[in-house]
Amino acid sequence: MTQTRYSEWWRRSTVYQVYPKSFKDTTGNGTGDIKGLTEKLDYLQELGIDIVWLQPVYVSPQYDNGYDVADYEAINPDFGTMEDFDELVQELHRRGMKLMTDIVVNHTSVEHEWFKQASSGKDNPYRDYYIWKDPGPDGGLPNNWQSKFGGPAWQFDEASGQYFLTLYDKTQADLNWENEKVRRAVNDMMLFWAKKGVDGFRMDVINVISKDQRFPDDDGSVPPGDGRKFYTDGPRVHEFIKAMYDEVFGPYEMVTVGEMSSTTLEHCIRYSSPEEREFSMTFNFHHLKVDYPNGQKWELMPYDFEAMKRLFTQWQTGMQQGGGWNALFFNNHDQPRAISRFTDDKAYRVESAKLLATTLHGMQGTPYVYQGEEIGMPNPIWKGIEEFRDIESLNMYRILQEQGKNPGTAQSILQERSRDNSRTPMQWDDSPNAGFTTGTPWIKVDERYPDINVQKELADPGSILHHYRRLIALRKEHDVFVEGSFIRLDEAHPEVFAYARQAEGAALVVVSNFSGKEITFRFGDKQWAELGERSGQQLLIGNTAEAPVLAQELPLSPYASYMWLIRK
């Protein structure tokens, strides 16, 4: 392990993810905006954040909250203006912070000019920007692929008698990456933002851009059998990404993260190893599917804790051995809140939030904090179906009932699984609407905001927010966070996740009780011996009043979590 291998600055950084629609509204229209983010940069800087990931603010009909882009180079008026954007970049840079924007190029909105042209006739020069197919031999769909948001992945175009591919919503038409002109246009668009001073990109579902050109039916032999095996980490995906690197990411020294849907470790090593010249790091979602029975998101089950630990271990050790780099996260705008899902967001909300943070931030990778996570926002209390806004959730509400579920059951599934769980407005203070807007918020504010808000967290030195601040600072202070190898220490314990990070001269040890029980955890003799000399130990961070010494037997209160540093 050489120093140069880990020399890039972003390996010590923490990224803060901003869902602009729900962050801070400065106009009173009920929708967050770019100026709202600029207003809060001091808050983020004090937290220790050095990269802000801003989700899509481009012109869009907003069926999928901006992931349906109608113009890649213009700002949606709801979010502000290009001047606001330039000011954001300037204000970030003035503070030594960086901006990562969201690039959504698997698909465009059907309202994008390219699609309008393409659907105006078979001879239009833009026709080949998208994926068109004649009906199948039976006159129906071209194949049996399913949309990720429910229903078939094809939409019929009356005018031409052909279908076009939509792997996500029916208003999100998949771009044809086989067409060189599409690749050229995407690179030009990214160069436009790079020249504006954007420092990095988060690449939306980028591992599905290259489709198997035979477009075969899925025989269902590999679950979930919806066609994904024919486009996930597809035939030319690495070639396409390398071309982006050569023209854009490399020359502008950008920090990039690829969102990888249903991917594999082997592919992520390739996507994120510096010598491959593709991305800086990757998101994968395997550790967040541990409560999907047979991979089914829309069915409920308690999560499989052992599977989660096994997946973290595989990705920690596998990425390190292969030279890849993980983006570390428990939360984002597509996931229910982790404290509600994996811990106890009621009796032990504060302990739970700190436990998840400590467990995640001790690992190798670049941690991501999703807005509200740092103040322990739980899933909101939903009162009725009319409160939901997300297109995927509303589609599934209908489909679940078509499958025979009654409305009550369908709604209770949504309450656990809906992406809206993480999309309610950021809770700044105890004023009306949590200080998010003076108008009517586009989605309801969770009623617990008088207790759970930034103002309160800032004032309390023992708060979740200060815990995050400390973790973010520790990563910058100690090389072992970046360099240490990962060793699992808990031998499939039913309640505890324990691991070490070993580097030359130092080790980290993290022990977390993921249960509401008082327990005593005992390191196995082998694991204890592996830790070696422990005399130079120091508790770096914990979430209880006690500051226990690292010992082979550890009493752990509910959701207790500790991180020690051992200097050797």
Residues annotated as catalytic are 204, 259
Q: Which is nearer to ligand GLC, 21 or 98 (CB)?
A: 21
- The two structure tokens encoding residue 393: 């959730």
Query: Which of positions 319-338 make contact with ligand GLC (CB under 6 A)?
Result: 333-334
Secondary structure, 3-state, 25-70? CCCCCCCCCHHHHHHCHHHHHHHCCCEEEECCCEECCCCCCCCCCC
What is the smallest separation between the CB atom of 44 and ligand GLC, expressed in angstroms? 21
Which one of residues 10, 19, 23, 67 is an interface residue with ligand GLC (CB under 6 A)?
A: 67
Applying the rule CB under 6 A, the residues between 161 and 180 that interact with ligand GLC are 168
Closest CA to 333 of 302, 368, 366: 368
Site string for ligand GLC, 101-140 (x = CB under 6 A): ---x------------------------------------
Encoded amino acid at 363, one letter: M
Distance of closest approach, residue 419 Cβ to ligand GLC, in angstroms: 7
Q: How far is the CB of 165 from ligand GLC (least distance, A)?
A: 14
Closer CB to ligand GLC, 60 or 415, in the complex: 60
**Taking the complex as a whole, how short is the minimal distance between the CB of residue 300 and ligand GLC, in angstroms?**
21
39 or 334: CB nearest ligand GLC: 334
User: Could you say which DSSP state residue 118 is in?
Assistant: H
d(CA 19, CA 426): 9
Number of other residues whose CB lies within 10 A of the CB of residue 220: 11
**Identity of the residue, 50 or 64, whose beta carbon is nearer to ligand GLC in the bound complex:** 64
User: With contact defined as beta carbons under 8 Å apart, do 351 and 558 qualify?
Assistant: yes
Out of 33, 50, 199, 204, the residue judged to bind ligand GLC by CB under 6 A: 204
CB of 143 to ligand GLC, least distance (A): 20
Task: Tell me the two tokens of residue 132.
Answer: 């068109």
Minimum distance from residue 108 beta carbon to ligand GLC (Å): 10
Query: Which contacts qualify for 182-185: CB closer than 8 Å, 24 or more apart?
Result: 182/129, 183/240, 183/243, 185/114, 185/129
Contact residue for ligand GLC among 37, 203, 205, 327 (CB under 6 A) = 205
Establish if 413 lies at the interface with ligand GLC (CB under 6 A).
no
Binding residue count for ligand GLC, defined by CB under 6 A:
9
Cβ closest to ligand GLC, residue 395 vs residue 455 = 395
Nearer Cβ to ligand GLC (104/356): 104
Cβ density class 405-416: b for 16+ within 10 Å, e for less: beeeebbebbbe
At its nearest, how many Å lie between ligand GLC and the CB of residue 102?
Answer: 8
Q: Supply the minimum distance, in Å, between the C-beta of residue 56 and ligand GLC.
A: 9
Eight-state DSSP code of residue 288: G
Count how many Cα atoms sit within 13 Å of the Cα of residue 395 in the half-sphere of its side chain.
Answer: 16
Residue nearest to ligand GLC (CB): 67
Of 481, 166, 145, 490, residue with least CA distance to 325: 481
| The one-letter amino acid at 354 | K
Residue (51 or 454) nearer to ligand GLC, CB: 51
Characterize the bridge pairing of strands 51-54 and 15-18.
Answer: parallel
- Residue 72 sits at φ, ψ, to 5 deg, of -75, -15
Q: Please, which residue, 67 or 201, has the CB nearer to ligand GLC?
A: 67
Please report, as residue ranges, which positions from 266 to 325 form the binding site for ligand GLC (by CB under 6 A). none
Q: Which of 33, 64, 345, 490 binds ligand GLC (CB under 6 A)?
A: 64
Are 518 and 556 contacting, i.e. CB atoms less than 8 angstroms apart? yes
- 501 contact partners, CB below 8 Å, separation of at least 6: 362, 363, 364, 480, 481, 484, 485, 486, 487, 507, 508, 510
One symbol per residue from 76 to 105: x for binding ligand GLC (CB under 6 A), - otherwise; what is it?
Answer: ----------------------------x-
Residues that bind ligand GLC in the complex, under the rule CB under 6 A: 64, 67, 104, 168, 204-205, 259, 333-334
